[in-house]
Structure 1
Amino acid sequence: MTTYVIIGGGLAGAKAAQTLREEGFDGEVVVIAAEAERPYERPPLSKDYLRGKSEKSGIYVHEPSWYDDNRVDLRLDVVATEIERAAREVRLSDGTRQPYDKLLIATGATPRPLPVAGAERALYLRTAADSEALKEAFAAGGEVVIAGAGWIGLETAAAAAEAGCSVTVVESAPAPLVHALGPELGEVFAGVHRGHGVRLRTGEEIAEVRRGSVLLRGGEELAADHVIAGIGAAPNDRIARAAGLEVADGVLVDQSLRSSDPDVFAAGDVANAFNPLYGRRIRVEHWANALNGGPAAARAMLGREVVYDRVPYFYTDQFELGMEFSGDVAGHDEVVYRGSVADLEFIAFWLHAGRVVAGMNVNVWDVAGDVQKLIRAGTPVDVKRLTDPSVPLSDL
């Protein structure tokens, strides 16, 4: 019997397994999941589940019975330790070997550890258990210090502040989200957080995590009952590298998510994929990439013609600010706005040579599709009409 093996029990892996069955694959499907939990979605871990606004039952991709009902062999709490490409087998932590005909690597990413003394005292956010530990810490109250003002850092800061904690965010860049959005839009998020009492210490770094405090590189000591590290994530590509696959900041895959081995594919956070829309490789660490990349890889494994060229997409909710982001700001030369930035009801557009390369709608809804169409069009736009709220985006 033909066997397709998926290494990784997250959203990408689970949706790939689902797609294999929906597309009529009748062979054996094996999912190797390192966690003891069945596959779940990660956005709630830093959003509603962390904030106590949703139940844990809502995070899972499928009901428990789905795997047996669809003949998916889900192996929980088992780690894939080695890919033996010549033998077409995966060696597992339980001492067994799993043969494969096609293999999907969907191993995700791991939070980067704080590179300072005392880092073992810090909390991280990646798993459901991590989210539950943070929720317990926030319920205890006290001083919370967060290293990093990226998406995870700011979302956990909002959750901690809403829980009644005193929150300080330490960020080495001059503003939050500089690498993702640039300084202008980063300051918008900074204003929202400051308005809710969050202290932002930009241009600073933590030098040491101590019991009950953190030491900044400048010598100042901050009280800290809980320290959270949110300084980015690294792709879990070790197993691919050890197997001799081409790896550079993730598993290198083509537009069909196929690796340098024609029988091995990669999807989700770990995949550094060539995106023909942008004409270059992009590694995307967001929910939508796992949601769509897993099914795309599954179809490619089945021999379907696949061109994975989706516009990168991300969303967040922080205090009264809800937003959707589409695109990639790399190489932009101008940012323009439609609506009121002061009132937090606007759309920001990043342009390169007059073309929209990214867009972010803040508290303006049902426009993400039109924003993505503008990005896909790749043609110069009339900036006056683009920034005029009376002109429907669909007309552009």
Structure 2
Amino acid sequence: MRIVVVGNGMAGSRFVTELTDRTKDFRVTVMGEEAWQPYNRVLLSNVLAGGYGPDQVRLLDPSWYGEHGVQALLGTQVHHIDRETRAVIAASGERVPYDILVLATGSEAVVPPIPGVERAISFRTLDDCQQILARSTGASRAVVVGGGLLGIEAARGLAGRGLPVTLLHLAGHLMERQLDAEAGLVLGETLAALGVEVRTGVNVAEVLDDGVRLADGEFVPGDLAVLACGVRPLTRLAQDAGLEVRRGVVVDDEMRTDDPSIFAIGECAEHAGTVYGLVAPAWEQAEVAATVIAGGKALYRGSRLVTRLKARSVELAAMGETHLTEEHAEVVRFSHRAKGTYRKLVIKEGRLVGAIVLGESDAVGTLTHLFDRGGPLPGDRAGLLFPGLSGAAAADSPVRMPDSAKVCQCNNVTKGQIRACWEAGARDVAGVAAATRATTGCGSCKAAVEGIVGWLCEQEGVSA
């Protein structure tokens, strides 16, 4: 049976590895528009900041495809899907027949239709990242347009290279989808202390060679302009092929489209009315699709999202319904702006339905576990925000953490799975990552994995 995957990003490459792990009975062809080997898009901000090089964010070695019998057509743009003959037609005219087609086309950067926008560089791909780095070498100041996750990461990365940065955002506060107004304010002040000037409630009307002009006529200087204005799902191929498309390509719980021979996963897919823009849901969907295609049974029931900001010296986690007020839920909050700290719990019917943790905290692991499992909360709410105050060890300490606790959100890896890997011989983080993929997503769980491995080694008196 011939499997063709269109898209070789984080969803497409994960699907291919999941499928080959399950069966060798298929002939798999993956078609990627980018010439790069698949890479971890989540870590591009680290490349921008100079912490990683392109090779360090690569997801697969070039030799992997041949070793697993997978044909990789990199740098190949797909022009059309012929559902009648079951073939994918590349822009070059090459026809690639399929029995099952998996769409993992991802999303594209939103580029606002304003004069001079071609002078700016979108921050979305590794090619974009390299263009920004090349331009930053001779730049005196940068302007980043967009105060969501990507914009903040881009601004922090450039500031970390010593470049003065102004971050412009249309909404009244940063990351307005994930944060409430006070958290957005504290985050802005944290960034300001790191060299990023934050301007909210402003609208860019024109991009110039030496800066941008706002809608009110104000000029903001910057000879490097970076766009991070959001993304939209890439659905043209599916739409032209007559598949059902709303905001994304509509799929069922098996990740099938309305054509049973075509699946869609990742940022291009819409499940139960939701398009997910984070890596963890994309990897969950890839696993479901691979299981189903390999002949197994699996259903995707949606994802509970935990957003982590991956910017150096900025610790932020947000999850669930963070905007509910005291009129609709029990809300517990603590704010210390001078320290860059903001913590908020949103509780309904005794269960955690939302949380914001800004600033370094040992509460994140506990709160993520409670949010993900939906279990009842202890009566000591302050102890949830400040585990040390309760007199007991924090639940994200290896000693107190239950085996069911999810340590790696991106790959759904629990403490129990890490323990099983350790018992099977994995004595360091690299071994655990090879067996479970923990730490290979956003990387924010690395310290927790190190702690668990170290604790297990200590218990048995062996060297980590």
Q: TM-score, normalised by structure 2?
A: 0.77
Per the TM alignment, residue 57 of structure 1 is displaced from its structure 2 partner at its CA by 1.3
SS at structure 2 position matched to 1:252: strand
Superimposed CA distance per residue, residues 85-130 of structure 1 (whole angstroms, 9 cap, x where no aligned partner)? 2222111112111111111110011000022111111111111111
Task: Check if 1:336 corresponds to 2:336.
Answer: no
Aligned residue in 2 for 1:43: 42
Give the whole-Å Cα distance in 1 for the aligned partners of 2:369 and 2:282.
18
4+ long deviations beyond 6 Å: 338-341
| Alpha carbons 1:338, 1:386 under 8 Å: kept | no
Unaligned runs of 5+ in 2: 396-400, 406-464
The aligned runs of 1:353-364 (5 Å cut-off) are 355-362=351-358, 363-364=360-361
| Alpha carbons 1:257, 1:266 under 8 Å: kept | yes
Give the whole-Å Cα distance in 2 for the aligned partners of 1:141 and 1:159.
14
- Between stretches 102-111 and 386-395, larger displacement belongs to 386-395
Aligned residue in 2 for 1:295: 287
- Within the candidate set 261, 267, 276, 1:284 is matched to 276
Give the whole-Å Cα distance in 1 for the aligned partners of 2:25 and 2:337.
53
Q: Which amino acid aligns with 1:364?
A: S
| Alpha carbons 1:7, 1:32 under 8 Å: kept | yes
Percent identity of the aligned residues?
29
Aligned residue in 2 for 1:61: 59
Give the whole-Å Cα distance in 1 for the aligned partners of 2:316 and 2:113.
31
Q: Which amino acid aligns with 1:27?
A: F
Give the whole-Å Cα distance in 2 for the aligned partners of 1:189 and 1:132.
27
Q: Which amino acid aligns with 2:285?
A: G
| Alpha carbons 1:245, 1:259 under 8 Å: kept | yes
Per the TM alignment, residue 170 of structure 1 is displaced from its structure 2 partner at its CA by 1.3
Question: CA distance change for structure 1 residues 324 and 67 in 2, over 3 Å: closer, same or farther?
Answer: farther
Aligned residue in 1 for 2:243: 245
Per the TM alignment, residue 182 of structure 1 is displaced from its structure 2 partner at its CA by 2.5
Alignment RMSD: 2.6
Superimposed CA distance per residue, residues 68-96 of structure 1 (whole angstroms, 9 cap, x where no aligned partner)? 00001110111121122222211111211
Per the TM alignment, residue 252 of structure 1 is displaced from its structure 2 partner at its CA by 1.4
| Alpha carbons 2:15, 2:290 under 8 Å: kept | yes
Q: Which amino acid aligns with 1:23?
A: R
Give the whole-Å Cα distance in 2 for the aligned partners of 1:255 and 1:331.
29
Aligned residue in 2 for 1:16: 15
Give the whole-Å Cα distance in 2 for the aligned partners of 1:207 and 1:56.
33
The aligned runs of 1:227-238 (5 Å cut-off) are 227-238=225-236
Q: Which amino acid aligns with 1:305?
A: K
- Within the candidate set 305, 308, 313, 1:312 is matched to 305
| Alpha carbons 2:183, 2:342 under 8 Å: kept | no
| Alpha carbons 1:139, 1:163 under 8 Å: kept | no
Give the whole-Å Cα distance in 2 for the aligned partners of 1:154 and 1:168.
10
Q: Which amino acid aligns with 2:6?
A: I
Give the whole-Å Cα distance in 2 for the aligned partners of 1:80 and 1:358.
40
SS at structure 2 position matched to 1:32: strand
Question: CA distance change for structure 1 residues 57 and 7 in 2, over 3 Å: closer, same or farther?
Answer: same
Question: CA distance change for structure 1 residues 370 and 305 in 2, over 3 Å: closer, same or farther?
Answer: farther
Aligned residue in 2 for 1:213: 211
The aligned runs of 1:1-396 (5 Å cut-off) are 2-46=1-45, 48-274=46-272, 281-308=273-300, 309-327=302-320, 329=322, 333=328, 335-337=331-333, 343-344=339-340, 347-352=343-348, 355-362=351-358, 363-365=360-362, 367-368=364-365, 371-377=368-374, 382=379, 384=381, 386-387=384-385, 389=387, 390=390, 392=394
| Alpha carbons 1:355, 1:381 under 8 Å: kept | no
Per the TM alignment, residue 304 of structure 1 is displaced from its structure 2 partner at its CA by 2.2
- Between stretches 281-290 and 332-341, larger displacement belongs to 332-341
| Alpha carbons 1:327, 1:375 under 8 Å: kept | no
Superimposed CA distance per residue, residues 29-61 of structure 1 (whole angstroms, 9 cap, x where no aligned partner)? 110100111111101212x21111122211111
Per the TM alignment, residue 212 of structure 1 is displaced from its structure 2 partner at its CA by 1.2
Q: Which amino acid aligns with 1:359?
A: A
Give the whole-Å Cα distance in 2 for the aligned partners of 1:101 and 1:296.
18
Unaligned runs of 5+ in 1: 275-280
- Between stretches 34-43 and 369-378, larger displacement belongs to 369-378
Per the TM alignment, residue 382 of structure 1 is displaced from its structure 2 partner at its CA by 4.1
| Alpha carbons 2:81, 2:237 under 8 Å: kept | yes
Give the whole-Å Cα distance in 2 for the aligned partners of 1:171 and 1:163.
22
Superimposed CA distance per residue, residues 218-246 of structure 1 (whole angstroms, 9 cap, x where no aligned partner)? 11112120111111001001111111111
Give the whole-Å Cα distance in 2 for the aligned partners of 1:220 and 1:341.
29
Give the whole-Å Cα distance in 2 for the aligned partners of 1:96 and 1:216.
46
- Between stretches 149-158 and 126-135, larger displacement belongs to 126-135
Question: CA distance change for structure 1 residues 21 and 169 in 2, over 3 Å: closer, same or farther?
Answer: same
Give the whole-Å Cα distance in 2 for the aligned partners of 1:58 and 1:255.
34
Superimposed CA distance per residue, residues 324-364 of structure 1 (whole angstroms, 9 cap, x where no aligned partner)? 44445476755534796754566533345553223344423
- Between stretches 300-309 and 114-123, larger displacement belongs to 300-309
Q: Which amino acid aligns with 2:9?
A: G
Per the TM alignment, residue 365 of structure 1 is displaced from its structure 2 partner at its CA by 5.0
Give the whole-Å Cα distance in 2 for the aligned partners of 1:59 and 1:105.
23
Aligned residue in 1 for 2:444: none
Question: CA distance change for structure 1 residues 301 and 360 in 2, over 3 Å: closer, same or farther?
Answer: farther
Give the whole-Å Cα distance in 2 for the aligned partners of 1:205 and 1:354.
41
Give the whole-Å Cα distance in 2 for the aligned partners of 1:221 and 1:367.
40
Q: Which has the higher contact order (CA 8 A, sep 6+)?
A: 1
Question: CA distance change for structure 1 residues 94 and 302 in 2, over 3 Å: closer, same or farther?
Answer: same
**Number of equivalences:** 388
- Between stretches 378-387 and 259-268, larger displacement belongs to 378-387
Give the whole-Å Cα distance in 2 for the aligned partners of 1:310 and 1:354.
21
SS at structure 1 position matched to 2:47: coil
| Alpha carbons 1:326, 1:372 under 8 Å: kept | no
